[in-house]
Amino acid sequence: MEINRQVVREQIEKMLAGRVSKEDIGWWAYDFLMEEKLRYEPGHEKLLEDVLRSLHYFHDIEPVMQQFYPATEEILYYLECLQGEVPYERSRIVHWRV
Average pLDDT over residues 17-26: 96
Q: How far is CA 37 from CA 2, 40, 65, in A?
A: 8, 10, 28
Domain boundaries, the chain: 2-97
- Is the pLDDT score of 98 beyond 50? no
Q: Average pLDDT over the chain, rounded to whole? A: 91
Supply the DSSP symbol for 70. Answer: P
Nearest-angstrom CA–CA distance, 92 and 98: 12
Residues 6+ apart with CB under 8 A from 53: 29, 33
Residue type, 62: E
pTM of the model: 0.89
Q: What is the pLDDT of residue 61?
A: 85
Q: What is the pLDDT of residue 95?
A: 61
